Amino acid sequence: MAHLQAHAVKQITEICERYKNERTPLMMILSDIQKEYGYVPLEVQELVSTLTGVPVSEIYGVVTFYSFFSLTPKGKYVIGVCLGTACYVKGAQLVVDKFAEILGIQAGETTEDGLFTLDVLRCVGACALAPAVSINGKIYPAVGVDQCAKIVNDLREKEAE
């Protein structure tokens, strides 16, 4: 645990304490860590394992299964393109490719300035609005490749304000 700073250890210990009386606290603990700490790297998983007794392999399995969790820090804006069936047939892969080209990263990566993460998602429950894009949880409907640059520019301008 040497590479985790003292304040991070304290923060994660507090989160684990929060749910110590729950029967199955792991998802709640990991969700709070993702929200408050920003990501769930291996050293954090090891600490959670020590504090809760849940094997690291089990924690790693949960973190890597759900796209909500991240092993690396996410950008300020998380652009999630839905690749569920309804979105896929309406060209969502082209939208992923366009965002990747504009941002200079691949899906799952974060820009060097820490501003954008590009993710691919499974159905986000907005199939009638396909292809759907979620940016920090807000759904952008029927996004075409011709709209990607404007979406990114608008967010960059918002940052510059």
> Of the listed pieces 43-51, 68-76, 77-85, 144-152, which binds ligand FES according to CB under 6 A?
77-85
Judged by CB under 6 A, the residue of 8, 62, 71, 123 near ligand FES is 123
Smallest separation, CB 56 to ligand FES (Å): 33
Alpha-carbon 123 to chain mean position: 15
| DSSP assignment letter at 71 | S
The answer for residues whose C-beta is within 8 angstroms of residue 26's C-beta and 6 or more apart is 48, 52, 54, 58, 59, 62
> Of the listed pieces 26-34, 49-57, 82-90, 101-109, which binds ligand FES according to CB under 6 A?
82-90
Judged by CB under 6 A, the residue of 41, 75, 80, 84 near ligand FES is 84
Q: Can you tell me which residue has the tokens 């029967």?
A: 23
In angstroms, rounded to a whole number, what is the distance separating the alpha carbons of residues 61 and 161? 40
The answer for residues whose C-beta is within 8 angstroms of residue 64's C-beta and 6 or more apart is 71
Smallest separation, CB 65 to ligand FES (Å): 19
> Of the listed pieces 16-24, 66-74, 83-91, 103-111, which binds ligand FES according to CB under 6 A?
83-91
Which residue, 85 or 106, has its beta carbon nearer to ligand FES?
85
Pairing of the two strands 133-135 and 116-121: unpaired
State which of positions 85-114 bind ligand FES (CB under 6 A): 85-87
Q: Which residue is nearest to ligand FES (CB)?
A: 84
> Of the listed pieces 4-12, 55-63, 95-103, 126-134, which binds ligand FES according to CB under 6 A?
126-134
Q: Is 82 in the site for ligand FES (CB under 6 A)?
A: yes
Strand order in the sheet with 77-82: 116-121, 77-82, 133-135, 138-140
Measured in Å, how far apart are the chain's first and last C-alpha atoms? 39
Residues that bind ligand FES (CB under 6 A): 82, 84-87, 123-127, 130, 132
